Structure 1
Amino acid sequence: MVSDSTQLDPFSTLAEAHKLLSQLPQELADRIVLIGGQALLLWAEYYLIDQATGLQYELLASDDLDFMGRRPEVIDCAHAWHAEHRLPSPDDNAPQSGIVVLNNSGLFHTIDFLTSVYGIDDHEVYKYSDLMVFGENQIKVLSPPLCLKSRIANLSGLHYAEPLQQREVVRITAAIEATKLYLIDICNSGQKRPLSKAVKYLMRYVLLSRAGVAISAAYDLDLSAAFPLSVIRSIHPPIVDEYLSRWLEAYHTRVARRPT
């Protein structure tokens, strides 16, 4: 978590995360996954979402730096960062594997390591995360579809107060746009199999999930905007004509039937 301030600079938090991740040996970097708000902010900056949508990055700024990792990763990262670590006792029943306490003047004072990502199965995190470069390291980062699923799960299941609900709506909107641009990237690569996998995952486990339908109705969100249909059709018409058209109709029907 960063030090208290009235306004976070999202680019400063990204720069600080980049600095810390660049310091890890690759063997250790391979064992962690960047999750949470910084993962979404990273994709927003990567795709220049502010220019595409007018969305202000400040609305995505996060005062947390979170990783998925277990106790050995907490201890080893603390050593690499010349920091202290704290581990929960077996009786704590805490979601954290531990906390790294940084002994520096940077933005982040503590870094959380979680055993899992709320709302996402562990195997999905490892299977669908993407590698991004930090210095000479490659680090797994929640992909835009996983960011979208995570934000939906948070809004649906964590019982936020009103201000935090609106923050999550903004983050879901950003994740929708990032996912659309991510799918366009896959289309531009000309690879049909990764495209098919991403589309099927999004429809089965995000849009048509109970949480996806519920938050779409409750907050007037259109998750189908994540699909660049004309671009997908230009690369692989059957995905749109045989699957997406039917799935999206089912999604809109379920949302319309859901009480708001």
Structure 2
Amino acid sequence: MNGSMGRLIEIVKERGISAFTYDDVKFVSKPLFANPERLILVGGQALEVWGVLLKVPPPTGVALTEDTDWLGSKDDAKWLIESLGPIASDLQIPDVTDPTPSSALAFIQRQEERILMMDFMKTIVGPDEHAIRKLAVQVTLMDDVKLAILHPLHCLESRLGNLTSIPSKRGGNGPMQAKWAMDIAREFILGMVRSGQPADEVQKACKMVSGLVESKQKRHYARYCHIHYGINPLDAVPAEAVQYVGGGFENDEWPRVIERVTHKLASWREIAARTQPQLKSSGSKVT
């Protein structure tokens, strides 16, 4: 740990943390060039980077997250901080008995007294670690910056999961991040079509999205977010993608998915209206 242990924490208590910029993300990602899979960028910052790469700006036009989350261990956190060179840093490691999903919390100081925070996570809400690592996307931000980012469709699952499972995420930017994740997922799938990726890969992406509503393990996320925020995950599947796959998927399988999901969403709204009359009925058009 850095010799300045504790000093940055005191500054943060007094001034708060500074929001990560795109340049900050590139700076902290430089050590990952030789081994980009060691840490995976998750959380709101993954959305921020995808927003830049896919040219999908946040709904407000400004960043919706301040810190940066990584899927990684305390050893990964120590390695990254040490690899950043001689910068002021504080690293907090939770006690082994602490039930927090965080494996480490790091603060680093950049120019002009800016203090940045990074959270290293054992797990995130939504996709499990195996699925995350299997589908994480390696991207190059510049010649010497390469990193792995949570897949856009996992970003969507995680945002819906956060709203469902973490009450503190329901205020502030949480709902906007979920809707932004929808836009990013849609643009990612469109990008697959525009770049001529195999039809079966586009079909898998469409099915990943429909699985958020139809999978027994995941549909409680979609149910909560549809009832409370009017979100329908199928809105992230562009018609162009279904047409691109074509054949039986376009003419038979996907129309049946739409029919099932439309019925399921209506049923959820009906039950919510009976059991939670304070909620306004919210609908979402399925195309």
Shorter chain as normaliser: what TM range?
A: 0.7 to 0.9
Q: 1:124 aligns with which of 116, 123, 131?
A: 131
Amino acid at match of 2:261: Y
Confirm or deny: 8 A CA contact 1:31 1:73 kept in the other structure. Answer: yes
Alignment partner, residue 25 of structure 2: 17
What residue is the counterpart of 1:88 in the other structure?
A: 94
Name 1:181's counterpart in structure 2. Answer: 187
- Which of residues 48, 60, 66 is equivalent to 1:56? 60
Corresponding letter in the other structure for 2:249: I
Equivalent AA in structure 1 for residue 177 of structure 2: R
Identity of matched residues, %: 16
- Provide the secondary structure at the position in 2 that maps to 1:101: strand
Q: Structure 1 residues 229-238 or 75-84, which shifts more?
A: 229-238
The SS at the match of 2:119 is strand
TM-score calculated relative to the size of structure 1 = 0.85
Alignment of 1:5-84 (within 5 A): 13-22=21-30, 24-50=31-57, 55-58=59-62, 60-82=63-85, 83-84=89-90
Please state whether the residue corresponding to 2:97 is helix, strand or coil.
coil
C-alpha displacement of 1:161: 7.2
Counterpart in 1 of 2:255? 245
5+ unaligned residues in a row in structure 1: which ranges? Answer: none
In structure 2, which of residues 139, 145, 148 is the aligned counterpart of residue 140 of structure 1?
Answer: 148
Larger gyration radius, structure 1 or structure 2: 2
- Residue 107 of structure 1: CA displacement? 4.3
Query: What's the CA shift for 1:155?
Result: 0.5
Question: C-alpha separation between the residues in 1 aligned to 2:170 and 2:126?
Answer: 21
Equivalent-residue separation in structure 1 for 2:249 and 2:22 (angstroms)? 36
Which residue is 1:158 aligned to?
Answer: 166
Deviation at 1:96, TM superposition (A): 1.1
* Range with greater deviation from structure 2 (74-83 or 147-156): 74-83
* Structure 1, 232-241 or 89-98: larger mean CA deviation: 232-241
User: As a proportion of its length, which structure holds more helix?
Assistant: 1
2:228 corresponds to which of 212, 218, 222: 218
- Which consecutive unaligned segments of at least 5 residues does structure 2 have? 1-8, 274-287
Displacement of 1:5: 6.9
SS for the counterpart of 2:185 is helix
TM-fit CA distance, 1:69: 0.5
Give the match for residue 100 of structure 1: 106
